[in-house]
Structure 1
Amino acid sequence: MNASRVAAVVVGVEVNGLGILRSLALGDVPLIAADADPRQPAMRTRHGRKLGLRALTGSELVEDLLALARSLDQRPVLFLTRDDTVATVSAHRETLAQHYRFQLPPPAITTALNTKAGFQALAQQGNFPVPPGVHVTGEADLPELAALPYPCALKPGERNAAYDRQFAKAYRIDSFTEAKDLCRRILPVMPDLLVQQWIEGGDDAIYFVLQYHPGGGRSPLSFTGRKIRSWPACIGVAARCGPAPEMAAELEPLTTRFFQSCQLEGWAAMEYKRDARDGRFVMIEPSAGRSEMLGEIAVLNGVNLPLAAYHWLIGEEPPPPTTRPRTLWRRDWLADTAAAHAQPEIGLWSPADAPVMDGFWRRDDPLPALYAYPQRALGAVWRRLAGRS
């Protein structure tokens, strides 16, 4: 590691953190990859010094980060990849800011943007386009569900291990009765639910804007993309995506206006869905304080958001975006294949001749894929066999 340059510490090295490491390596940034599971496939990357953490949240994370900072000659740049890690860093920002360079929104805004109900309230206050919804925290809120237009989507306000063990990331529900019954099942485990009008359209009707807001009166750096397909279909995260520059003029100013209304500095992203009935865009979900899992799509298409953030945080101007051939990104080969088989009619907008870059596999950095894919393939076979028994 080049001791003369400021290091970047990436906390949480799954496919999201792996993309950040590869993006920063393009600028010869000294790297430290830190995770609580040093044996996971993404930690096999050739990029960066590897550091095992005791946890990715809570006091143990804070203690480990402080110990790391004390071992370095210069105050490093901190990159986060998970909402729960953002929550910990936000809660201890005054202490950590003495040892790390990072930007976060004000504490109350950080909390609000990383919960479904908090975002819904902020968007409605600013008259931003969001689907009508009801925040459910207990039995007393259930009658309000009757006023919603169905079908609806039900999502946890935030996710935790207990919720993930028993329930899906999201549900489509077709009636008031179904919504009420499902809420009653989930509330003992997660007493923070958002039931929102379902916006018609396939997974390829989902667009996103990725941004970094440097503050100080400077404009954010932005990238606009579009999902090609998701896995699990309809309720999962991106399995494949591509650039959507044709929508930048509409979506980027709207995204900037929303986050500036929140006094946000640092990382931000907004997911939109285009309603198949009238073509209108509605805001679906933001993130703040961390990079997005699919963030490498921007780098592959000439907008290196992590490297720009690094330069801004060390007091330098970043290199300008470059023009590159349109390139697609997929989370991993298995998820993308499953999504294509489940919904072969989805994602036909993407150019057939565009190269596709895999979230794990790179010819010059093969080990993450060589460790990830055999494990995932065996897991898929085991789940299929267990389902038949």
Structure 2
Amino acid sequence: MHAAQSSSPPAVVVGLCAHGLALVRDLSGAGIPVIALESDGTLPGTSTRHGQISFAQDINKTGLIPALDDIASRLPPGTRPVLMLTNDRMVEVAGREAVHLSRSFRLSWADSAPRILPLLEKGNIESRCMAVGLNYPRSRLLTHADALEQTAQPLSFPVIAKPTKPLSAFKTLVAHSMTDLLTARRRLAGSMPVVIQEFIAGSDEQIHFGALYLRNGQVVARFEGRKLLSRPMGHTTIAVSEPNDQVHDLAVRFFDGLMLSGPVSLELKRGPDGRFWVIEPTVGRTDFWSGLCSANGVPLPVIEYYATLNRTCPTFMQRRGSVWINGERQPAALLWLAWHHPEHLLHGIRGVYFNLSDPLPFFRASWHAIRALPMRLIRKIGRQLSST
């Protein structure tokens, strides 16, 4: 890796998954020098023509810190890059070492790290909702698999189970009955502790989100959107831009008084009675669907870069238009959209890899998908056989 040559400090993006690739493209498109840090050279994002790529053995655990120290040691003296992370585990590791990292990097939320870290734990969300008067589904915390039936007994089915720790073996599991839940006992046991929570009725299309960029608790930028499809549950597959003052106000209320800085968001679900229920916040990073924001006028990584450097940032206004599709998670997503919401095909579509000015990640992702088809078919047949 060669040091970025620019009068502006580079942005260091950790991770070149589809999310990290979106950040790199947005930053590079704004003329910002970028260094990307990745551990997996097989990812399609590592084929990007944007930025400079540095590889490390570990970017998701404690090895992240020495990997970042190594990057800092190879930059010109006095250069402090703007650091951007792409998953909760990175946020957790960096948050614990925020003081150390701040010597060599600019981290937008470094000063609020002690208030960021508790929000990574799903077990803390209920108390936060109670403190600010937001609706949160009835929940119980499961700490030992042997207590599963006793813990879930007071709840009404269907329920969902969500590990409290970032990047656990699964994100969300749904159980329509106690029998379903007990069948999943072994899977739950590997990701303790787990929040067992009543499921709010409604389709994926009732899931809204409000993204904010904060500076000492003040809103610098905002964006609201809505999901059309989540496959598997909890993972956004298709989303649209949808300005919504009520969603924005609820997001602001959730974070009010914490004096946070940096990118945050709040995901909510509208129940059959019209009330919004908190699903979960995201803190310390942008969301996987940040490309939706950029495609519709609000490039959050660019805003974060300028705000972290205390530089004047252009004014960005949200617009309706482009649909965001995660074809990597669900290859048939475009067909689903054409069948269920063909009206959205009239607008622009932002995929996680396809980009005419940066085509190699798309070709590489397509090759990976083709190679995976036989195994996907075998797994599908296996599921069908096991259900008969």
Q: Give TM-score, length-normalised by structure 1.
A: 0.89
Cα shift readout 1:127-170 (whole Å, capped 9, x = no counterpart):
2111111111124574242221221111222255xx52xxx532
Structure 1 alignment gaps of length 5 or more: none
2:198 alignment partner AA: Q
Amino acid at match of 2:138: P
Q: Which residue of 2 aligns with 1:150?
A: 157
Q: Deviations over 1:217-243 (max 9, x none)?
A: 6423110011121222xx141111110
Q: Does 1:121 align with 2:127?
A: yes
Name the structure 1 match of 2:141.
135
Q: CA 1:365/1:123 → structure 2, altered by over 3 Å: closer, same or farther? A: same
- Residue 172 of structure 1 is matched in structure 2 by 174
| 1:72-151 alignment runs, 5 A limit | 72-73=75-76, 74-104=79-109, 106-138=112-144, 139-140=146-147, 142-151=149-158
Native 8 Å contact 1:153 1:198 kept in 2: yes
The answer to whether the 8 Å contact 2:10/2:81 transfers is yes
The secondary structure found in structure 2 opposite 1:66 is helix
Contact 1:211 1:268 in 2 (8 A): yes
1:218–1:280 distance in 2 versus 1, CA, 3 Å: closer
Pick from 1, 5, 9 the counterpart of residue 2 of structure 1.
Answer: 5
Letter in 1 for 2:260: L
Residue aligned with 1:62, SS = helix
Q: 1:351 aligns with which of 344, 350, 364?
A: 344
Q: Which amino acid in structure 2 is aligned with residue 46 of structure 1?
A: R
User: Which position in structure 1 is the counterpart of 2:385?
Assistant: none
Q: What are the Cα deviations for residues 263-300 of structure 1, in whole angstroms up to 9, with x where unaligned?
A: 3211211111111x212111101111011110111111
Structure 1 residues 27, 137: closer, same or farther in 2, change over 3 A? same
- Name the amino acid aligned to 1:255: A
Aligned to 2:386: none
Alignment pair present for 1:312 and 2:307: yes
CA distance, structure 1, for counterparts of residue 229 and residue 204 of structure 2: 5
Question: Where in structure 2 are the equivalents of 1:193-342 lying within 5 Å?
Answer: 193-215=194-216, 218-232=218-232, 235-245=233-243, 247=244, 249-275=245-271, 277-322=272-317, 326-332=321-327, 335-338=330-333, 340-341=335-336
- Which letter maps to 1:156? P
Distance 1:142 1:126 in 2: 31
Displacement of 1:308 in angstroms is 0.8
Alpha carbons of structure 1 residues 94 and 154: separation in structure 2 relative to 1, 3 Å = same
Aligned residue-pair number: 375
Unaligned ranges ≥5, structure 2: 383-388
1:13-92 → structure 2 map (5 Å cutoff)? 13-73=16-76, 74-92=79-97
Deviation readout 1:35-73 (Å, 9 max, x if unpaired)? 111331111111100100121133321111112112223
Deviates more, 1:141-150 or 1:130-139: 141-150
Identity level (%): 26
Residue deviations 1:296-348 (CA, integer Å, cap 9, x gap): 1111111111111100111102110146561111112671515855x9875x3
Q: Distance between the aligned counterparts of 1:331 and 1:226, measured in 2?
A: 14
114-123 or 359-368, which deviates more: 114-123
**Code of the aligned partner of 1:59:** T
Q: Decide whether the 8 Å contact of 1:209 with 1:222 is kept in 2.
A: yes
Quick one: structure 1 residues 236 and 253, their matched pair in 2 at CA, closer, same or farther if it must change by over 3 Å?
Answer: closer
Instruction: Please give the TM-score of this superposition, normalised by the length of structure 2.
Output: 0.89
Using the TM superposition, name which of 63-72 and 119-128 deviates more.
119-128
